[in-house]
Amino acid sequence: MTYTIEVNGVKRTVDVDGDMPLLWVLRDVLDLKGSKFGCGTGLCGACTVHLDGEAVRSCQTPVSSVGPTAVTTIEGIGATPVGKRVQAAWLEVDVPQCGYCQAGQIMSATALLAKTARPTDQDIDAAMTGNVCRCATYTRIRTAIKKAAGMNTADAGAL
């Protein structure tokens, strides 16, 4: 069956099974490989994209459920003001180690900051808890989120 979804501002029509996860559609059909496959069971966050600005796990999102909501991926997040700030902070702090989880981390961080301009540590914990980093870059992620929010990052390393 064909589905037309809006991805990074562009309408794309795909001919796939309705239960195909959005992650598969993005990576294997639309060749947008920035969103990563980690666990495939909603537990790691590597596949995080936005649906109308909400961070969702694309491995758990059947393409048939997307409908008219706007899909934003790591390839498109830099076109949004908050996403651009987050990416700049990520570079400045040099967050990634292996990098595998980082697209998902940036998507979750951007969704957080779009709603909560100056997040508390609890806000950050709540928003980022489902994004696992096997390289344990959590301290730098927290620093980068605060930097993107224009907050004091001097004590971020001790958090």
Give contact residues for ligand FES (rule: CB under 6 A).
37-40, 42-47, 57, 59, 96-102, 133-135, 137
- Of residues 10 and 126, the one with the C-beta less far from ligand FES: 126
Sheet containing strand 48-51, strands side by side: 10-15, 2-7, 70-72, 48-51, 54-57
* Least distance from ligand FES to the Cβ atom of residue 137, Å: 5
d(CA 13, CA 151): 41
- Of residues 46 and 111, the one with the C-beta less far from ligand FES: 46
* Least distance from ligand FES to the Cβ atom of residue 24, Å: 11
* Least distance from ligand FES to the Cβ atom of residue 49, Å: 10
In this structure, the strands spanning 48-51 and 2-7 are: unpaired
- Of residues 7 and 22, the one with the C-beta less far from ligand FES: 22
CA angle in degrees (0–180, nearest 5) for 95-96-99:
155
- Of residues 46 and 156, the one with the C-beta less far from ligand FES: 46
In this structure, the strands spanning 54-57 and 10-15 are: unpaired
